[in-house]
């Protein structure tokens, strides 16, 4: 079993209703599996923020880092997770 720490930033934090969460998964599960676990735990609004309802693919404005590295430069949603990984989920910051 693996313990993964997930932190939510910006709009994701608002929808999740929490700043961070700890999830126990099987070692080697993927980011996609983690997002499914989180969606079940945090509800439909959370899933709707992350995934397009038409394609069930991750929305372009969602940014996910595992241990400080964007998953899109690794294996995308197939990025494997290990014990004590830190996942950050965010939307782009807006400013002006």
Q: Is residue 48 one of the residues assigned to a domain?
A: yes
Report the alpha-carbon distance of residue 52 to residue 66 in Å, rounded: 22
The pTM assigned to this predicted structure is 0.92
Specify the number of domains making up the chain.
1
Strand 63-66 relative to strand 20-25, pairing: unpaired
Q: What CATH number has the domain bearing residue 75?
A: 3.10.20.30
Q: Is residue 82 one of the residues assigned to a domain?
A: yes
Q: Is residue 47 one of the residues assigned to a domain?
A: yes
Q: What residue numbers bound the domain in which 77 lies? A: 2-90
Q: Is residue 95 one of the residues assigned to a domain?
A: no
| Residues 15-66: tens digit of each pLDDT | 999 999 999 999 889 999 999 999 999 999 999 999 998 888 999 999 999 9
Which are the contacts of 81, defined by CB distance < 8 A and separation ≥ 6? 2, 4, 25, 27, 28, 29, 30, 31, 34, 66, 87
Contact present, 6 and 89 (Cβ < 8 Å) = yes
Q: Is residue 96 one of the residues assigned to a domain?
A: no
């Amino acid at each position: 079993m693996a313990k993964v720490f997930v932190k939510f930033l910006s709009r994701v934090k608002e929808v999740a209703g929490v700043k961070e969460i700890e999830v126990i998964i099987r070692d080697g599960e993927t980011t996609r599996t983690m997002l499914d676990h989180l969606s079940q735990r945090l509800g439909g609004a959370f899933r709707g923020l992350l995934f397009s309802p038409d394609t069930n693919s991750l929305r372009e404005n969602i940014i996910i880092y595992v241990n400080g590295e964007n998953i899109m430069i690794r294996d995308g949603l197939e990025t494997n997770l290990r014990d004590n990984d830190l996942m950050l989920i965010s939307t782009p910051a807006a400013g002006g």
